[in-house]
Amino acid sequence: MNVQLPNLLEDALGGGGQKGGGRVVLIEDCVETSGAFVLHHFLKRSLSPNSSDAVVFLSFSQPFSHYDRILRKMGCNLVVQRDNKRLLFFDMQMLDSVGREEEKTSEDLLLALYEKVHKAVEICLSPPRNITIIIDDVSLLEVAANCLSNIVLDFLHYCYSLTAEFGCSLITLNHEDIYSSLDKPSLLLQMEYHADVVIKAEPLSTGLATDVHGQLTVLDKGLGGCFINSGKIRNFQFRIKDNQVEYFYPGSRT
């Protein structure tokens, strides 16, 4: 099974590193189909031995050991990368409880969080390189901020301004179905407005299948910088295996 399959996700993202300013990527998933594997893909890509990129990872959903176990199977040792200062991991499950004890307001909490991110970016910039900020996931960030979505958006805005200023990439995960009852899901819509690339993970419209685990829709708005080039949209299916994810076009698998 060593046949080199074309990585459709990489193709859809336009391959390799973006020059001149990072991009804002939003991953949307739902209960039926988790989009976490896309985050792992980005994590692995940024920490690949071919590059010197750094990652600032804010985790609200899982502890470090969870990511370590998954990435190890994919051939990437997170502990080593953390010691190399290429991965700055913030376990927000712990930090959140610390903030609560001191009875801080949500704004103070997110201001403190922004301080952490900014400092982390400062550290990573010491040799200038590409920095990827990953937030897993925004819905839990919202919970940490007492469901004040406006403050979450303020925090995200400051993260966006980091991407504009220092060329960082920002990758966020959010769940689409949480907002399905809202008429105007302000948080999700505003995140979509800010994103350069939106990746949606959905179940198959035809129902469950054993060898196809879902479909991805990648929308690249193509608005990098101010130079307009029309966007593109790709749709393909995937199958998650232990150490890799296979991507293929609908109907190309027997």
Partner 1 sequence: MGGVGGELRLPPQNFAASAIARTRIAEDSSLRLLCSDFSPPQCARIRRLNKNGRTDIPFGSLVFNHVLSQLSSFIVAQKSQSQGIVLVALSRGPLYYEELFKSKGNNVALSNKWIRVLDCCTDPLGWRSKLMESGRIANLTTGTSTRANLYKNVKDLDKLLSAIIELGKELVVEGNGRFAVAIDSVSEMLRHASISSVAGLLSNLRSHSQVSCLFWLLHSDIHETKAIAALEYISSMQASAEPITRPVNGQRGNSEKLPLLEQNLRGGKIHVRFKRRNGRVRLMSEEFCIEQSGIKFTPVSSEAEIIAQSLVPKVQFNLELSEKERNDRAKVVLPFEHQGNGKSIQIYDGRKSLNEDRAEMQDTSTEKVQTVEDSGRGEIIYFRDSDDEMPDSDEDPDDDLDI
| Number of C-beta neighbours around residue 166 at 10 A | 17
74 and 245 Cβ atoms separated by less than 8 Å: no
Task: For residue 109, give both structure tokens.
Answer: 């909490």
240 forms beta bridges with: 245
Assess 181 for contact with partner 1 (CB under 8 A).
no
CB under 8 Å to 143, separation ≥6 — which residues? Answer: 60
CA proximity to 8, closest of 34, 31, 41, 44? 41
According to CB under 8 A, which one of 1, 103, 227, 242 is a site residue for partner 1?
A: 227
Task: Compute φ and ψ for 160, nearest 5 degrees.
Answer: -60, -40
Assess 119 for contact with partner 1 (CB under 8 A).
yes
132 and 169 Cβ atoms separated by less than 8 Å: yes
Binding residues for partner 1, rule CB under 8 A, total 47
What is the C-alpha separation between 89 and 152, in angstroms, rounded?
A: 20
According to CB under 8 A, which one of 84, 97, 150, 180 is a site residue for partner 1?
A: 150
Assess 61 for contact with partner 1 (CB under 8 A).
no
Assess 53 for contact with partner 1 (CB under 8 A).
no
Compute the least distance from the CB of residue 150 to partner 1, in Å.
6
| Number of C-beta neighbours around residue 236 at 10 A | 17
First and final C-alpha spacing in the chain: 16
Compute the least distance from the CB of residue 185 to partner 1, in Å.
9
Assess 157 for contact with partner 1 (CB under 8 A).
yes
Assess 197 for contact with partner 1 (CB under 8 A).
no
42-50, 56-64, 77-85, 186-194 -> range binding partner 1 (CB under 8 A): 186-194
Assess 105 for contact with partner 1 (CB under 8 A).
no
- Per CB under 8 A, residues contacting partner 1 are 111, 114-115, 118-119, 121-122, 125, 150, 153-154, 157-158, 161, 164-166, 184, 186, 189-190, 192-194, 198, 200, 202, 204-206, 215, 217, 219, 221-223, 225-233, 235, 250
